[in-house]
């Protein structure tokens, strides 16, 4: 298997996309560190998949706390060594307009969606460079980085910022052989951290040209590709895996003017 015994770190690993990405790497033989504030949820995923201890590690990471992130890096490198792949998956998707959102919520969005992946990437990259490890770092973003949506502008802005940081890291780490890329997954309801109303889910699904939500193999397939040797000449790229949702405004029905 392509990732046999490779060390992979996934933040927000107990979430919807985090779980799918984690399970995809396990299927390819990787040893995965599940970094998530919800330790019990991460451990339940390991038990459900019957993953042996040598292929699964849980770190209770509080991404708003720099000390917790530093402990994640120290724990992983001390116990398993320097990772081959780091996936910055954790993120929150709260609604709120620019005039309504308060400062504390604004800070929470940017702390988790921007500051945390910056710190995680910075610290693991330092460890990779010190060990001479040519690894891959992947940011999980969103089509919202390129298309503003009324009522979620703070979230959209955080993802735009994340993608610029990813490209910055790609430039600065290229000489060390560390590749940094972005995956923009499609819409997938079910997050406990960012719950969505049924009406909102229905409206979002109606806008996807390929007619369905993102599934368990869609975004993980893109992550595996960008982390693999097949993508050894790709860095600073953004791959949208969203059923065409970020192409533009989509209205179901016949093309205008056609009969």
pLDDT above 90 coverage of the chain, percent: 75
Q: What is the chain's percent helix, strand, coil content, to nearest 5?
A: 45, 15, 40
* Residue 135 near residue 128, CB atoms below 8 Å: yes
Which residue in 208, 223, 9 sits closest to 127, CA to CA?
9
- Residue 171's pLDDT is 98
CATH homologous superfamily for the domain 7-241: NAD(P)-binding Rossmann-like Domain (3.40.50.720)
- Residue 19's pLDDT is 97
**Strand runs (DSSP E) across 20-133, as ranges?**
31-35, 56-59, 85-88
Rg (CA), the chain: 18
Can you give the residue ranges of every domain in the chain? 7-241
Burial class (CB in 10 A: 0-12, 13-18, 19+), 129: middle
Active-site annotation, residues: 155
Q: Indicate the pLDDT class of residue 257, thresholds 50, 70 and 90.
A: very low
Q: What is the value of pTM for the model shown?
A: 0.89
- pLDDT higher than threshold 70 for residue 2: yes
H or E stretch covering 10:
strand 7-11
- Residue 202's pLDDT is 65
* Residue 140 near residue 88, CB atoms below 8 Å: yes
Please tell me which residue, 250 or 126, carries the higher pLDDT value: 126
Q: Indicate the pLDDT class of residue 7, thresholds 50, 70 and 90.
A: very high
Structure confidence by residue, pLDDT tens digits, 135-189:
999 999 998 898 888 899 999 999 999 999 999 999 999 999 999 999 999 776 6
- Residue 250's pLDDT is 54
Structure confidence by residue, pLDDT tens digits, 219-248:
999 999 999 999 999 999 999 988 767 766
Length of the chain: 259
């Amino acid at each position: 298997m392509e990732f046999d015994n490779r060390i992979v770190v996934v933040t927000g690993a107990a979430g919807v996309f985090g779980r799918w990405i984690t399970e995809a790497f396990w299927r390819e033989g990787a040893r995965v560190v599940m970094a998530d504030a919800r330790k019990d949820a991460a451990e339940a995923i390991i038990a459900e998949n019957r993953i042996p201890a040598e292929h699964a590690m849980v770190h209770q990471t509080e991404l708003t706390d720099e000390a917790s992130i530093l402990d994640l890096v120290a724990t992983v490198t001390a116990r398993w060594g320097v990772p081959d792949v780091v996936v910055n998956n954790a993120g929150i998707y709260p609604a709120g307009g620019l005039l309504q959102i308060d400062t504390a919520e604004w800070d929470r969005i940017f702390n988790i969606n921007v500051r945390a992946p910056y710190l995680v990437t910075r610290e693991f990259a330092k460890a990779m460079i010190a060990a001479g490890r040519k690894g891959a770092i992947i940011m999980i973003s969103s089509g919202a980085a390129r298309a503003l949506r009324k009522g979620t502008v703070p979230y959209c802005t955080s993802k735009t910022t994340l993608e610029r940081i990813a490209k910055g890291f790609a430039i600065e780490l290229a000489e060390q052989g560390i590749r940094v890329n972005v995956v923009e997954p499609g819409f997938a309801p079910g997050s406990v951290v960012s719950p969505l109303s049924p009406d909102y889910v229905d409206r979002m699904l109606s806008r996807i040209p390929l007619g369905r939500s993102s599934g368990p193999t869609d975004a993980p397939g893109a992550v595996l590709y960008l982390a693999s040797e097949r993508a050894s000449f790709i860095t600073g790229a953004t791959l949208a895996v969203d059923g065409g949702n970020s192409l533009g405004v989509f209205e179901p029905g016949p093309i205008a003017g056609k009969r």
